[in-house]
């Protein structure tokens, strides 16, 4: 019998061009797929939310979002669309860079637009940076709790193996990441990503969410296709449109 499907969003939290985020999100998804244990009453179906594409203006709603329980009450069409998108997901994987010891402003802005849409939903954080972006992850976790999401106990920190790799990442170069390769960059963290994802699936299962959609199998494919379109493996500059700012001086 087909299981119910839990809709999981993989959130790309950087809106720079060029950027490393799509290829790191792709690695995270591959790592989840390569370590996936089929032991839940739900099956995850992944889709990508790219905050660069969503392109929300700075928060401009007249009301406090926690007071809004019906998305049609938002003043602006962009908020109503964002609300409907977030409502449609059961859980969120935030793949998030560290900027100046915090997480990107575009992500805070996207979170602040809504409240009840986030409430009660499981989330996991995968941060990255020179030392793994732990400070960004810690701050993001606090804010997710503020909108009453349920973050996993553990998060994952992916540290660029060297300063030169950090600079390549900043310029959107292909880092050769492969979540199926047991020897590549961050290979030793594939299991950690799988374990944190399993914790999120446990939370989802106990949340009794999941739409009764017919699904033959776990659906990684669609999200991977979306991510690969954003970042073509093997290209030297990914989705680069120019030279971005690189930062390598601290964690
Ligand atoms: C504004 C800015 C601030 C940054 N701050 C940090 C930092 O605090 N710690 C760190 O390890 N890397 C920092 N970096 C380097 C990023 O880890 C690196 O540029 C990475 O590629 C950013 O992710 P993105 O390309 O997906 O935006 C910073 C980069 C930018 C653009």
Instruction: Choose the residue to mutate in 10, 28, 97 for probing ligand 1, maximizing ligand atoms within 8 Å of C-beta.
Output: 97
11 is written with which tokens?
């959130």
Q: How far is CA 90 from CA 4, 71, 224, 241, 244, in A?
A: 12, 17, 19, 34, 34
Q: Is the pLDDT of residue 10 over 80?
A: yes
Q: Are 231 and 22 in contact (CB under 8 A)?
A: yes
Ligand 1 nearest-atom number relative to CA 172: 25
CATH top-level class of 4-210: alpha beta
Q: What percent of the chain shows pLDDT beyond 70?
A: 87
Pairwise CA distance, residues 92 & 203, whole Å: 12
Query: Degrees (nearest 5) of the Cα angle 47, 17, 137?
Result: 60
Tokens 């940076």: give the residue: 129
Residue nearest to atom 6 of ligand 1 (CA): 99
234 is written with which tokens?
């093997």
Pairwise CA distance, residues 207 & 120, whole Å: 8
Q: pLDDT per residue over 26-53, tens digit each?
A: 999 999 999 999 999 889 999 999 999 9
Query: Ligand 1: which residues within 6 Å by Cβ?
Result: 14, 16, 19-21, 97-101, 129-131, 166, 169-170, 245-247, 250-251
Distance 142 CA to ligand 1 centre (A): 20
Pairwise CA distance, residues 147 & 121, whole Å: 10
Among 75-79, 205-209, 244-248, which is the least confidently predicted range? 244-248
pLDDT class for 60, splitting at 50, 70, 90? very high
Cα 43 to its chain centre, rounded Å, is 18
Residue nearest to atom 30 of ligand 1 (CA): 99
Cis bond before residue 18 (omega within 30° of 0): yes
Q: pLDDT per residue over 175-220, tens digit each?
A: 999 999 999 999 999 999 999 999 999 999 987 554 444 444 456 7
């Amino acid at each position: 019998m087909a299981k119910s499907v839990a809709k999981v969003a993989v959130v790309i939290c950087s809106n720079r061009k060029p950027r490393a985020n799509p290829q790191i999100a792709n690695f995270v998804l591959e790592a989840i797929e390569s370590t996936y244990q089929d032991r839940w009453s739900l099956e995850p179906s992944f889709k990508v939310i790219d905050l660069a594409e969503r392109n929300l203006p700075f928060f401009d709603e007249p009301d406090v979002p926690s007071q809004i329980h019906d998305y049609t009450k938002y003043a602006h069409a962009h908020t109503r669309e964002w609300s409907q998108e977030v409502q449609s997901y059961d859980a969120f994987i935030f793949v998030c860079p560290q900027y100046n010891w915090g997480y990107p402003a575009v992500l805070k802005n996207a979170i602040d637009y809504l409240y009840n849409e986030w409430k009660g939903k499981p989330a996991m954080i995968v941060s990255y940076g020179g030392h793994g972006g732990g400070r960004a992850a810690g701050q993001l976790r606090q804010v997710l709790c503020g909108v009453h999401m349920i973050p996993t106990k553990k998060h994952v920190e992916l540290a660029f193996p060297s300063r030169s790799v950090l600079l390549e990442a900043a310029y959107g170069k292909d880092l050769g990441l492969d979540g199926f390769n047991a020897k590549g960059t961050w290979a030793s963290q594939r299991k950690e990503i799988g374990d944190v994802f399993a914790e999120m699936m446990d939370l989802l299962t106990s949340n009794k969410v999941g739409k009764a959609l017919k699904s033959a199998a776990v659906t990684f494919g669609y999200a991977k296709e979306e991510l690969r379109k954003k970042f073509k493996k093997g290209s030297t500059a990914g989705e680069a449109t120019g030279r971005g700012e690189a930062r390598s001086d601290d964690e």
